[in-house]
Structure 1
Amino acid sequence: MADSAMEAAAARIGIPFIREAFADRGYRADGKLLARHEPGAVLGSHVEVVEQVLQLVLHQQVVTCEKKIIPLTAQSLCIHGDHSTALASLQAIQQAFEQHQIKKKAFSIC
């Protein structure tokens, strides 16, 4: 996850780290994820997911559960496959990427 202890540990020992953000999860004002049992922890529709993804990709920011806009830079997006809206979210993200001419690329850290 972006801005995590894992990222700091990777930097300390000089190994590459890919910053990840969550397309379908709610964030707090401190940049941490809401716990799964909290209201808003999982975004309820593919429309919300696409809005969050576009904020992350185009503006390097996210709107928190408190309705604050905070910076969040990520190189990778996670979408949980166990949500009922996962497929619709992925399809909507693909359409949004095409509309905004956002290119996807694979990572190579070797």
Structure 2
Amino acid sequence: MAVIDINADLGEGFGIWRLGDDEALLEVVTSANVACGFHAGDPLTMRRVCADAVARGVTIGAQVSYRDLAGFGRRAMDVAPAELTAEVLYQIAALDGVARTEGGRVAYVKPHGALYNRVVGDAGQARAVADAVRAYDPALPLLTLPGSAVYEAAEDLTVVAECFADRAYTPEGRLVSRREPGAVVHDTDAVVERAVRMATDGTVVAVDGSVVRLDARSVCVHGDTPGAVELARAVRSALEAAGVTPRPFA
């Protein structure tokens, strides 16, 4: 029986500003990547999302980022490894503390935005993130792209491959930069078809038409795009119709 996790980035509001419908997405996903305050999120939002996730049986993950609220964590930054390790450690610990007060815990770690893309190819930054996870709890899995530098940097940790139903891929299996046209796939039918193919065949068609091997254990659906909830529901329904069971990897 095919099984795959469905994850989404949640808790990305700040103060009175809300981004996405966390409550509705928590009815769809099996894992929630909760913002830890560095690219989005605040203590009240973190607590609310953790409480809702626990109530719905959704696994909580720390969505760690460069310290970049103004740029939503999507701007390239040059952070010294020791500093990055400390900042990632800070974020994991903060969210885990909040999650535990609500009866849950952080069960995995996923970098966000620029940090996510940086650690795919930068061994030094990947090592800094892995060092933070290792220092806090070496049992925590790290979520990243197949072929990421994280695999070597965290060879003593658990590294889990994920795929993106609504993002375009390069022939090398990397995500197309959001600065490029077509980086985000908005057509519902196309996203659903890609998600089912990723879960059942372990492949995706890249922007040049080539087929890329993924073999991912988790599929990400973004919560900050227009119609995100409806899209996530369509993806889950299609996966279940194809005989794929949504289940947390952690």
| Shared fold (TM-score, shorter chain, > 0.5) | yes
Task: Give yes or no for the alignment of 1:95 onto 2:242.
Answer: no
Structure 2 distance, partners of 1:38, 1:5, is 23
Q: Mean Cα displacement is larger for which, 2-11 or 29-38?
A: 2-11
Match for 1:15: what amino acid? L
Aligned residue number for residue 23 of structure 1: 165
Structure 2 distance, partners of 1:106, 1:37, is 31
Structure 2 distance, partners of 1:59, 1:27, is 16
> Match for 2:216 among 74, 77, 86?
74
The structure 1 segments of at least 4 consecutive aligned residues displaced by more than 6 Å after TM superposition are none
Larger Rg, first or second structure (1 or 2): 2
Match for 2:153: what amino acid? A
Percent pairwise identity:
33
What stretches of structure 2 of length at least 5 have no aligned partner?
1-144
Greater RCO (Cα-Cα under 8 Å, separation 6 or more)? 1
Residue pair 1:2, 1:74 contacting (<8 A) in 2 also: yes
TM-score (norm 2): 0.41
Shift of 1:76: 0.8
Shift of 1:41: 0.4
Structure 2 distance, partners of 1:42, 1:85, is 13
Q: What SS does the corresponding residue of 1:52 show, helix, strand or coil?
A: helix
Residue pair 1:45, 1:85 contacting (<8 A) in 2 also: no
Residue pair 2:202, 2:213 contacting (<8 A) in 1 also: yes
* Structure 1 or 2: more strand by fraction: 2
Shift of 1:21: 1.0
Aligned residue number for residue 52 of structure 1: 194
Shift of 1:59: 0.6
> Match for 1:32 among 164, 168, 174?
174
How many residues end up aligned between the 2 structures?
A: 106
Structure 2 distance, partners of 1:8, 1:26, is 25
Shift of 1:7: 2.1
Task: Give yes or no for the alignment of 1:83 onto 2:225.
Answer: yes
> How large is the RMSD of aligned CA atoms in angstroms?
1.2
